[in-house]
Every structure is written in C-alpha cells, then in structure tokens.
C-alpha cells in the first residue's frame, strides 16, 4: 500500500498540474475576470458582482489566488478597514487565456449541452462540431 506522500507526489512531479489544479475551483476564473474588468475592487463589491458565491468561498478563492501571486490585496489603515483587490502582472497575463477559453465555451455551449442530454456517454462525431 502506498503512503499518503507517495499518492500525492504527482503534484511535485508535474509542476503544470500543480498550477492548473488551482483552477479546479469554479470561481477562480470568474474572480480574475471581474477583478480584471474593475481594475481595483473591494470585497463587498466583488461579492455583489458574483452573487452565487458565498462570502466564505469568495474569501478562500481570493486567498488562494493571492497565494499564487495572481491577485494582490491592499489594506488601507482606515477605520473601518478598507481592503482592495487587484490583479498582479502575472494575473493580467492570464486574462487573455481565460477570455479565449470563455469564448470557446460560449461558441460550443449549445452543442455540448445537447450532446450531454442525447448521448449520455456515447462517443460524439468530430464533424458535428
């Protein structure tokens, strides 16, 4: 039987998987896009811009994106405390890829949804795209 460290070692062996796995969080791309559009945004405004996300999940997503150097958090020492989020240069570099992926998903959304409903696992024909 493999030890826990051996089972999880794929992240250490494959650095790309380690980075891309962060986007398994369904909110990360959306947070990056909203922050990109606003330039600088406060937590409450971001929370209102993405009404489906809970404050806890949004907070965790922002923390993870900050850990990955995609978003920076600036605290203004005022009363009440004022915090703003903005993309780092690395985060700004990621935006065109997210926009491209979003455009691809929008272009093929109807086909994919219809295919899910009709085939339930049957192999699709490439020419149908």
Cβ–Cβ < 8 Å for 58, 31: yes
Q: Does residue 32 register a pLDDT over 50?
A: yes
* Residue among 50, 48, 43 at smallest CA distance from 81: 43
Instruction: With 0.95 as the threshold, say if the pTM is over it.
Output: no
Q: Domain limits of the chain?
A: 9-120
Mean pLDDT of 28-43: 94
45-98 per-position pLDDT tens digit: 999 999 999 999 999 999 999 999 999 999 988 888 889 999 999 999 999 999
User: What's the fold here for domain 9-120?
Assistant: Arc Repressor Mutant, subunit A (1.10.10)
How confident is the prediction for the chain on average, in pLDDT?
83
Closest CA relative to residue 94, chosen from 40, 35, 47, 45 = 35
């Amino acid at each position: 039987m493999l030890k826990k460290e051996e089972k999880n070692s794929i992240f250490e062996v494959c650095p790309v998987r380690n980075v891309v796995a962060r986007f398994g969080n369904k909110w990360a791309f959306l947070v990056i896009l909203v922050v990109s559009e606003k330039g600088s945004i406060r937590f409450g405004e971001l929370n209102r811009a993405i009404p489906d996300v809970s404050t806890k999940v949004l907070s965790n997503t922002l923390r993870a994106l900050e850990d990955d150097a995609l978003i920076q958090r600036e605290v203004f020492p005022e009363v009440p405390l004022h915090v703003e989020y903005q993309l780092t240069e690395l985060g700004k570099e990621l935006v065109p890829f997210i926009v491209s992926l979003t455009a691809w998903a929008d272009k093929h959304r109807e086909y994919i949804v219809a295919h899910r409903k009709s085939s339930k696992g049957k192999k699709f024909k490439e020419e149908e795209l």
